[in-house]
Structure formats: C-alpha cells, structure tokens
A and B are shown apart, each in its own frame.
Chain A
C-alpha cells in the first residue's frame, strides 16, 4: 500500500510502495503543490517509473516559477533507481 501526507511543516511524507496502481494518490497531492517543498522518502520502500513520472512533472512545473522539490532520506534501492534514471541530476537529493 501507499500513502502520502503533508505534515504541519509542509514536508510531504511518502509511505509504502509507489507503483503504477497507486500513483494517482501521489499525483493528486503533487498537482496541488505551488511552492518549494521537501519530500521525505524515509518510509518509502519502493518506487517505479510511474512515481518518477509524477515527480518529474512536478519539478518541471515548479521550476517554471522558480520553485523546486528537494528529496530526502531515500533508501539505497530507491536511490539506485534515481541514479539509473539520471534523476539525481534533476533533483536535489539529500
């Protein structure tokens, strides 16, 4: 399962598995984002290209207004996926 929440500091928390069947939940939250934000991957176990697509579209939209999302606390496998996709060149990853 997958869940996405925004805490009182505006940090977006991803939990579980972000796959093609769950991606609409993430799309809905990211589509409403209009300013820079931190996305916390600490509880995210899995991501596929479906999730990467949502993050890419969000970053492209935000950059037009001088904003961006920053990604933090990725596990090793998720980080490998970002590297292979060369998304480490698109996002600030901490």
Chain B
C-alpha cells in the first residue's frame, strides 16, 4: 500500500493512520508495529524539519514479504541526506548539557533490523525493514 502526505508535521496523524491500516491488514505483531511507527515518525519529522529545499510531498510505501515488513519514505529533493551515516549522539556529554538532537534517528536505527538510503535522479529514498515475530 502507498500514500502521499504533505511535508508537514500536521500530517503525522494521517501517517500513523496509514501505518495502523498496514499493521492491521498485514497482521503485524505489536513490537514491529511500534518500531515502524517510531522509525517513520523520526525520519518523517526529520525531513519536515530540515526541509531539504523543496515542499514536495512525501510518499510512503509499506509492504509485507513473509516475515519482513518494509516501509519506504520517498521525496523529490535536490539535497541528498544519507540517514545511514553516523550521527552525533550525546551519550558522553554531561547530563546537564545533553540535548536530544540525533536521538530519534539513533533509537530508530537500534530498533530496526535494516535501514538503507539511496538517492537517484533527485529522488531520495529511505527504506526501513523490521523482522516480524509471527
């Protein structure tokens, strides 16, 4: 299943509704459903926050293949941003100075089973995979 969303934080409720429909139709387990919600939210809000130079829609595509669920986020943008590159997490920073920047992507990476990024002809594509328990 696939659906386009405005590049706007207010689209999040519709994004979650899309993911809930996918989880119900494909009978995803609760853990996989949580992880995909969280990972999609983190990458979606990252795209919205940093703009990447266009106001184009974000296309979500979700597929189940056996024991693997895959969700892709796709946008047209002149500025590639490889989300698989290491981000600065602040685990070594004293508590009082710690900031949440980069935290969401770190959590998503840790909870997912796969994360890839490709950029071809102005199309940026983030692919998230999660293995299913049932």
Contacts and interface: CB of A to CB of B under 8 A. Distances in A.
A21 B9 contact: yes
B96 A60 contact: yes
A29 interface: no
B103 A21 contact: no
B57 interface: no
Interface residues of A, number: 21
Interface residues of B, number: 25
Contacts, number: 59
B31 to A, nearest CB: 7
A48 interface: yes
A19 interface: yes
A10 B104 CA distance: 30
- The dominant DSSP class at the A interface is helix
Interface in B92-113: 95-96, 98-100, 103-104, 106-107, 110-111
Contacts of A90: 95, 98
A64 B110 CA distance: 31
Closest 3 pairs between A and B when the two form their complex, measured CB to CB: A49-B104, A53-B100, A21-B12
Interface of B: 9-10, 12-13, 16, 30-31, 34, 37-38, 41-42, 45, 91, 95-96, 98-100, 103-104, 106-107, 110-111
28 contacts: A19-B16, A19-B41, A20-B9, A21-B9, A21-B12, A46-B37, A48-B37, A48-B42, A48-B107, A49-B103, A49-B107, A50-B41, A50-B45, A52-B103, A53-B100, A53-B103, A60-B98, A64-B96, A77-B30, A77-B31, A77-B34, A80-B111, A81-B107, A84-B110, A84-B111, A85-B103, A85-B107, A86-B91
